[in-house]
A and B are shown apart, each in its own frame.
Chain A
Amino acid sequence: MALIQSDIVGPLAGAVGLGFRAGLAEALLAAETTAASFVEVAPENHLRVGGARGRRLAAATERWPVVSHGLCGDLAGAAPVDEDLIDALGAFLRRHGARWYSDHLCFTHVASAEVHDLLPLPHTEEAVARVAARVRLLRERLGLPVAVENISAYLRAPTPAGVAALDEPGFVRRVVEAADCLLLLDVNNVYVNAVNFGFDSDDYVARLPLERIVQIHVAGHLVQQRADDGSPTLLLDTHGEAVAGPVYDLLARTLARIRNAGLALPPILLERDHQIPPLPVLEAELRRLQRIVAQSRGPTPGAVEPLGAEAVGARDAGGT
């Protein structure tokens, strides 16, 4: 399958959207105007679901394009795919006119248990092959391009003795190449991991196959600090905070890089799953994302100015 990024992104190029979560769905639907020009849903939260949640999704579908982002694809799983779930997922994606389907590059199902969290994989060629096989299977069954998302992590899964682990961008690239799939780049996850593991987030992005980035996620994180000097010890990808200043900056530099490569700007999604603030606060974040996109589309490729922290809720969590 030829994957032409601009064709797949299509009318969503450079669009800014919001995660359609239960905690803000009513407010978003009630708003006469919003800066969100698409919404993203987790199909697992809507499969075989009706009632008020079903009504709200139907209303959202009438108003915005819907992008689907899975939570439990278990891309490295050893268990057979759940045929009923795949069929239901396929029907859901067809019903909502999906242009692609994405899920996370991680374990979600471990030894017969569903953890409902995103667990790091070992960065090995065996894991690359495992994920690639599952992604190809998904693509075939769903009849859609599939994108994998880089996850946030707080540890590196162990690798076998004597086997050198790929570094994270190398692992992501290898998976995308082996699976011949797309990439959903979460810039908050890049930033979180850069702090947690001490690497340079721009180097990371530079090593990715930019021509495969079909969507970008932006979210907030929580900073755990040392008691003595306040320096960050661990960033937690909570989706429960305002987007941090350095994440906006990384997004701006990433978009510039994509534009400089002559590629379509991917749609950008603001994720907010916890401690959901009043909608105007999220709208301010969306508008800030729009400004970053506008600057990225400016006449001078690569000349994106770092943005100030004027937006509501923005804060700096410390540089990489």
Chain B
Amino acid sequence: MSHVDDVARGWRSLLLSREPAFFDDAVVPRSRQLVYRDLVRNTLGDVLRRACPHARRLAGEDVFSRLIARFLDERAPTTRLLHAVAGEFTAWLATLPADALPDASFAELCHFEALEIDVTLSPTARQEPPSAGLIPDVDEAGIVVVDPSTRLCVYFHPVHRVTASTTAWPSPLSSPALLCCFQRAEDFAVVIVSPAVARILVAAGEGVSVGAALDRLAAEAAGSEAVFDRRRARADLTDLQRRGAVVGFRRP
């Protein structure tokens, strides 16, 4: 039985629950306990408000604040890195039923906004160079090597088009948007990629070469009505490399 652990649990109940359980008022003045509750919740809330400005504006301050409060009460951050709290918030939003959110696009928009922080804080290949032996041109025997900041995402709403002047929630897309997000010149860059390129990038994460991934796509297209353009997929990879999302290719 640890008193230190009891106090730690007491802190959590005081700070991160909807109905705070206070330490004994006779020992610890309640007004001082509330100081800590406000400090902690305001600090974490401010981090999330700053992280998701568009989602916050479209949802309205009250709705967004209620979701923050619910996150703090029901899940709470577990990361020791403050800049990673927004990522935990958006992961939690993705677990909520649709009727708990202000719009069908809300969780995606928050995710995209948190992603921008993640990408812009990420090291790049310039800061963390990949191991030597990279092949600079598209090499079908090679595996794609992406910049450390590159993230591939699928969204069902055009959340990447939301700006400060957007006044309505984004409508659902007829087909999902595949976004390759990465850091370029210390800024956040987004490129819409084809399903073929997305498959090649995912395959690279599994150690599959460009050629093998292309063969797989060609085989799938042969058995369907889909058109697969191998040359176009290679050109798209070259384009991603030119932009900085891909840094080269390595032989297995």
A contacts, CB < 8 Å to B: 44-45, 47-55, 58, 71-72, 74, 76-78, 82, 85, 107-117, 119, 121-122, 124, 126-127, 130, 154-160, 163, 234, 236
Are A160 and B36 in contact (CB-based, < 8 A)? no
Inter-chain contact B40/A50, CB cutoff 8 Å: no
> Are B15 and A154 within 8 A (Cβ)?
no
B121-148, CB under 8 A of A: which get 1 and which 0? 1111001100000000000000000001
- A275 CB, min distance to chain B CBs, angstroms: 13
Do B28 and A158 touch across chains, with their CB atoms under 8 A apart? Answer: yes
- Asked if residues B33 and A115 are in contact (CB atoms below 8 Å), the reply is no
| Chain B proximity of A67: nearest CB distance (Å) | 20
Q: Check: B32 CB closer than 8 A to any chain A CB.
A: yes
Q: A51-B183, A52-B186, A126-B3 are in contact. Are A117 and B39 (CB under 8 A)?
A: yes
CA distance A85 to B29 in the complex (A): 36
Q: How many residues of B contact A (CB 8 A)?
A: 46
CB–CB A110/B8 < 8 A: yes
Q: What residues make up the interface of B, taking CB atoms closer than 8 Å to A?
A: 2-5, 7-12, 15-16, 23-24, 27-29, 32-33, 35-36, 39-40, 43-44, 47, 76-83, 85, 120-124, 127-128, 148-149, 183, 186
Q: Taking the nearest CB of chain A, how far is it from the CB of B91, in angstroms?
A: 15
Supposing A49-B123, A50-B123, A50-B124 touch, asked if A157 and B80 sit within 8 A by C-beta, the answer is no
Instruction: Tell me, in angstroms, the Cα distance from A122 to B11 when the chains sit together.
Output: 11
Known: A54-B127, A116-B43. 19 other contacts (CB 8 A): A44-B80, A50-B122, A51-B127, A71-B80, A76-B8, A107-B7, A107-B8, A108-B80, A110-B11, A111-B8, A111-B9, A111-B12, A113-B78, A116-B44, A117-B36, A154-B36, A156-B28, A158-B7, A160-B3
The 7 closest A-B pairs by CB, nearest first: A50-B123, A113-B76, A72-B80, A111-B12, A155-B32, A50-B127, A110-B11
Distance to closest chain A CB from B197 (angstroms)? 24
A119 and B36 within 8 A (CB): yes
The reply to whether B149 and A51 form a contact with Cβ atoms under 8 Å apart is yes
With A78-B8, A116-B85: A48-B123 Cβ-Cβ less than 8 Å: yes
Residues of A within 8 A of B127 (CB): 50-51, 54-55, 58
12 A/B residue pairs, CB under 8 Å, sorted by A: A44-B81, A50-B122, A51-B121, A52-B186, A72-B80, A74-B80, A112-B78, A114-B77, A114-B78, A154-B36, A155-B35, A160-B3
Name the CB-closest residue of A to B29: A155
List of A residues within 8 angstroms of B32 by Cβ:
154-155, 234
In the complex, the answer to whether B16 meets A113 with C-beta atoms within 8 Å is: yes
Q: Would you call A114 and B3 a contact (CB within 8 A)?
A: no
Question: Who on chain A is nearest to B32 by CB?
Answer: A155
- Contact A117:B40 (CB < 8 A) given known A50-B128, A111-B8, A160-B3: yes
Question: Chain B residues with Cβ under 8 A from A124's Cβ?
Answer: 3-4
Our pick among B23, B40, B78, B82 for the contact of A158 (Cβ within 8 Å) is B23
Q: Which of B4, B29, B148 contacts A50 (CB 8 A)?
A: B148
Using CB atoms, name the residue of chain B closest to A73.
B80
Contact B43 A117 (CB under 8 A): yes
Q: A82-B80, A115-B16, A155-B28 are in contact. Are A122 and B4 (CB under 8 A)?
A: yes
Q: Which of A45, A54, A121 has the most CB of B within 10 A?
A: A54
**How far does the alpha carbon of A236 sit from the alpha carbon of B31 in the complex, in Å?**
13
Contacts of B40 in A (CB 8 A): 115-117
Tell which of A49, A115, A159 touches B83, judged by Cβ atoms closer than 8 Å.
A49
How far apart are B189's CB and chain A's nearest CB, in angstroms?
Answer: 12
A240 to B: closest C-beta gap in Å = 12
How far in angstroms is the closest Cβ of chain B from A72? Answer: 4
Bound Cα distance A106, B15 (Å): 15
Q: How far is the CB of B50 from chain A (nearest CB, A)?
A: 12
- Considering the complex, give the chain A residue whose CB is closest to the CB of B47: A116
Instruction: Point out the residues of chain B lying under 8 angstroms from A159, CB to CB.
Output: 3
Residues in chain B near residue A82, CB distance under 8 A: 80
Q: How far is the CA of A151 from the CA of B4 in the complex (A)?
A: 17
CB neighbours of A85 from chain B (8 A): 80
Whether A49 touches B16, Cβ cut-off 8 Å, given contacts A116-B40, A126-B2, is no
Contact call A55/B33, Cβ cutoff below 8 A? no
User: In the bound complex, do residue A51 and residue B11 qualify as a contact, i.e. CB atoms below 8 Å apart?
Assistant: no
Contact B77 A155 (CB under 8 A): no
From A109, which residue of chain B is reached at the shortest CB distance? B80
Which residues of A sit under 8 angstroms from B76, Cβ to Cβ?
Answer: 112-114
Q: How far is the CA of A74 from the CA of B5 in the complex (A)?
A: 12
CA distance A53 to B80 in the complex (A): 18
Within the complex, the shortest CB–CB distance from A164 to chain B, in Å, comes to: 13
Pick from A50, A51, A74, A78: contact of B2, CB below 8 A. Answer: A78
- Across the two chains, which residue of chain A brings its CB closest to B44? A116
- Once bound together, how far apart are the Cα atoms of A49 and B15, in whole Å? 29
Counting chain B CB atoms within 10 Å of each CB, the highest count among A72, A121, A124, A157 belongs to A157
